[in-house]
Structure 1
């Protein structure tokens, strides 16, 4: 479980979250949604300790994020931010192998190489593993970065807008991979999404964030209502019945 108690974070003049009290159960996919500037990415990076909280506590699987040594925390939780720009020219396999650093400290063992191969195969990158990142499409590069995170083999996986700059086809494929990671690998996936319908279709739980606070948390059928979404996004939303649950329509 991920548990936040009284978490606050302020930096710059416009970014402020909290107080946040939240419990995300282990297992499945949890989507963080909300308008731009709501604090979704900030909240995610605080959980992953890329940002320190100004107040409150964050625990992941019972470990205090602020007090747990970095090497130990990196075996529990992994995080992928939006900014995935590598200056060094890398192949897909070399990039994915970075996910083994908490285990190998840079000296890959046979077990590490096997983990890299599993992650490459899981994201359907086997045929591309010797290609350089700058030779790939945006969707292929994004899959390679997600493979790197999964290769870390942590129970908790945090992803900040993994659908950013992906078209519909590649967005669907990415969400299918993340759903499989939760179902087949037993990972707890927490993902920041802009598309509420992707959240409703693929997530087990939706956490709606607005003005730096959690305003709704529950299963998709509880969140995907016109009343809730209109209030969260400050715009009229209608939810219509769909083949696999409600579909949000903005107008």
Structure 2
């Protein structure tokens, strides 16, 4: 379980994220949604200790993220930021191997190599593992980044807009992989998504932010309603029944 207790981040006298009092359940997929500038990525990066807090506490599985040693925290939670700046001449396998650093400190064992291979296979990257990152499509690189995060073998995985720049086919494939990671590997996945329909289709829990605070949270059935989405996004939204559940249509 991830708990934010009175968490706040101040950017200016009139720009603030929080205070946030949030509990993200253990297990499954939790999607963070909301309009641009709502604070979704800020919340995620504070949880992952990539951004400091101005007030409050964040705990993951009972670990205070501001006080837990980095090496120990890296075995609890892994984070994939929206922008990645890895050396493009890394191969896919080398990139995925970076996920083992908290366990091996760069000295890969036979066990580490097996975990790397498992992550590569899980994301269907076996045919690409010797290719360099700059030789891949955007969707292939995104899968490689997620494989790296999964190779870290943390119970909690934080992903900031993993569907960014992906077309519909690759976005569906990515969310299918994440759903499978939650269901078959037992990971708790927390993901920032812009598309509420992807969030509703693949998540167990949705958390909506607006103007730096949480305005709605609950299972997709409670969030995917005309009045709720219209209020969150400040534009008319109609929710209709689709073959896999509710679908939001922007009027």
1:11 Cα deviation after fit: 2.9
What is aligned with 2:181?
A: 181
Which deviations, in whole Å up to 9, do the C-alpha atoms of 1:173-212 show, x marking residues without a partner?
Answer: 0000000000000000000000000000000000000000
What is aligned with 1:132?
A: 132
Distance 1:111 1:22, change over 3 A: same
Which deviations, in whole Å up to 9, do the C-alpha atoms of 1:108-161 show, x marking residues without a partner?
Answer: 011111110010000000110000000000000000000000000000000000
RMSD between aligned alpha carbons?
Answer: 1.1
Gaps of 5+ in 1: none
Preserved CA contact (<8 Å) 1:46 1:52? yes
Does residue 90 (structure 1) correspond to residue 68 (structure 2)? The answer is no
Q: Find the aligned partners of 2:233 and 2:59 in 1 and give their Cα distance.
A: 29
| Aligned pairs (5 A) from 1:1-251 | 1-11=1-11, 16-87=16-87, 89-251=89-251
TM-score, length of structure 1 as denominator length: 0.98
The 3-state SS of whatever aligns with 1:83 is: coil
Q: Find the aligned partners of 1:98 and 1:13 in 2 and give their Cα distance.
A: 39
Q: Find the aligned partners of 2:227 and 2:233 in 1 and give their Cα distance.
A: 10
1:10 Cα deviation after fit: 1.9
Preserved CA contact (<8 Å) 1:15 1:37? no
Preserved CA contact (<8 Å) 1:15 1:39? no
1:13 Cα deviation after fit: 7.4
The 3-state SS of whatever aligns with 2:8 is: strand
1:16 Cα deviation after fit: 2.4
Distance 1:14 1:197, change over 3 A: farther
Q: Find the aligned partners of 2:87 and 2:130 in 1 and give their Cα distance.
A: 18
Q: Find the aligned partners of 1:88 and 1:243 in 2 and give their Cα distance.
A: 40
Gaps of 5+ in 2: none
Q: Find the aligned partners of 1:97 and 1:172 in 2 and give their Cα distance.
A: 25
Q: Find the aligned partners of 1:13 and 1:127 in 2 and give their Cα distance.
A: 52
TM-score, length of structure 2 as denominator length: 0.98
The 3-state SS of whatever aligns with 1:94 is: helix
